[in-house]
């Protein structure tokens, strides 16, 4: 039995849709068509990226790093879903990093500088922003944001080739 949860997403005209049901990541089928899952994950990644950009402008460096990390993580999952839908499903972030490195960097020639080490570095920055007592320096947040933009720019062309 599939579970549904209340969620927010972007509608056709770019408007935020709140409270509609979408399949739960754990309750949905791992055999969803690659294009469907990839598109949903990419849309979520884009929302997180936009949030990161807004947060840096408002001076929230911790929030910027958090949202930039989830934009990158979501884009990595979208790229995996473009390869095979089930690859994007995992309860562990490290599993996603390993799969991304194997299926995209090693097997498909994705830029190695944006592989597992890059993803782990992004996670460490997010953990510092979320759990350390001090604030992340604004210059560090800007670097994380720039890295996010570079990663998303590399993933975007891959997702354009996925059939819906």
Same domain? For 59 and 78 the reply is yes
Residue 33's pLDDT is 59
CA distance 4 to 143: 37
Same domain? For 89 and 108 the reply is yes
Same domain? For 78 and 44 the reply is yes
User: What angle (nearest 5°) sits at the alpha carbon of residue 114, between those of residues 131 and 100?
Assistant: 85
pLDDT tens profile 57-102 = 999 999 999 999 999 999 999 999 999 999 999 999 999 999 999 9
Same domain? For 46 and 116 the reply is yes
Q: What percent of the chain has pLDDT over 70?
A: 78
Same domain? For 64 and 88 the reply is yes
Looking at the predicted structure, is the pLDDT value of residue 34 above 80?
Answer: no
Domain range enclosing 10:
1-30
CA distance 147 to 143: 6
Residue 25's pLDDT is 44
Q: How many domains does the chain have?
A: 2
Residue 124's pLDDT is 95
CB 97 within 8 A of CB 76: yes
Same domain? For 26 and 98 the reply is no
Same domain? For 61 and 11 the reply is no
Same domain? For 4 and 81 the reply is no
59 dihedral zone (left: phi>0; alpha: psi -120 to 50; beta): left
Q: Which of 136, 145, 134, 130 is nearest to 51 (CA)?
A: 145
Same domain? For 74 and 147 the reply is yes
CA distance 147 to 44: 18
pLDDT tens profile 110-120 = 999 999 999 99
Same domain? For 79 and 137 the reply is yes
DSSP string, 86-102: GGG--S-HHHHHHHHII
Q: Which of 88, 85, 91 is nearest to 100 (CA)?
A: 88
Same domain? For 18 and 94 the reply is no
């Amino acid at each position: 039995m599939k579970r549904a949860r209340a969620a927010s997403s972007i509608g056709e005209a770019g408007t935020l849709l709140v409270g509609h049901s979408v399949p739960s990541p754990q309750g949905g089928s791992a055999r969803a068509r690659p294009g469907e899952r990839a598109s949903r994950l990419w849309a979520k990644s884009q929302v997180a990226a936009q949030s990161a950009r807004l947060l840096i402008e408002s001076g929230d460096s911790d929030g910027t790093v958090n949202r930039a990390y989830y934009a990158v993580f979501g884009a990595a999952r979208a790229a995996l879903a473009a390869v095979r839908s089930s690859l994007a499903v995992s309860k562990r972030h490290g599993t996603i990093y390993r799969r991304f490195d194997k299926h995209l960097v090693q097997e498909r020639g994705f830029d190695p500088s944006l592989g597992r080490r890059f993803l782990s570095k992004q996670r460490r920055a997010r953990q510092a922003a979320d759990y350390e007592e001090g604030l992340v320096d604004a210059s560090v947040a800007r670097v994380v944001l720039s890295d996010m933009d570079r990663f998303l720019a590399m993933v975007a062309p891959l997702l354009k080739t996925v059939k819906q």
